[in-house]
Amino acid sequence: MRRIAQLRDGFQNLQAARLDVVIVLCQKRAAVAKWLTRHPLPFPVLIDDDRSRAKSWGAYVPFSFDSINIARPASFVVDTSGIIRYARRSRHQLDPAPLEGILGALPL
């Protein structure tokens, strides 16, 4: 959730640069709803509780040393033409994309 907090805290700067943020969480809808009531966000949150999006994006891991049936953190920057300008699928749960890498791919 640290990455979500970073995006929330920097959201005004991203908006000023005319960028959109969308978070996709691979968790149960009820758990996300409960968390969002305590931590409201200024951008949309999509829930992928069946992990279908995570599977199609290559972020789903059915079994590994550190997990079973989860989606690993992944970050994508997509331009207005739909072209992926940055993609990073983490090796494990504690390996999020560096925020500098994400921001470096933005068309600022």
The string of pLDDT tens digits covering residues 95-104 is 777 777 777 7
User: Average pLDDT, stretch 26-42?
Assistant: 91
Collapsed DSSP state (helix, strand, coil) of residue 7: helix
User: Average pLDDT, stretch 15-26?
Assistant: 83
* pLDDT above 90: residue 30: yes
Q: What is the model's pLDDT at position 65? A: 56
Q: Which fold has domain 2-104?
A: Glutaredoxin (3.40.30)
Q: What is the model's pLDDT at position 40? A: 92
* pLDDT above 60: residue 66: no
50 burial (CB, 10 Å; 0-12 / 13-18 / 19+) is: exposed
The string of pLDDT tens digits covering residues 35-54 is 999 999 999 998 888 888 88
CA gap 91, 70 in Å, rounded: 12
- Scanning the chain, the segments in alpha helix (DSSP H) are 2-9, 11-16, 29-38, 52-56, 99-104
Write down the domain spans for the chain: 2-104
Determine phi and psi for 92, rounding to 5 degrees. -155, 175
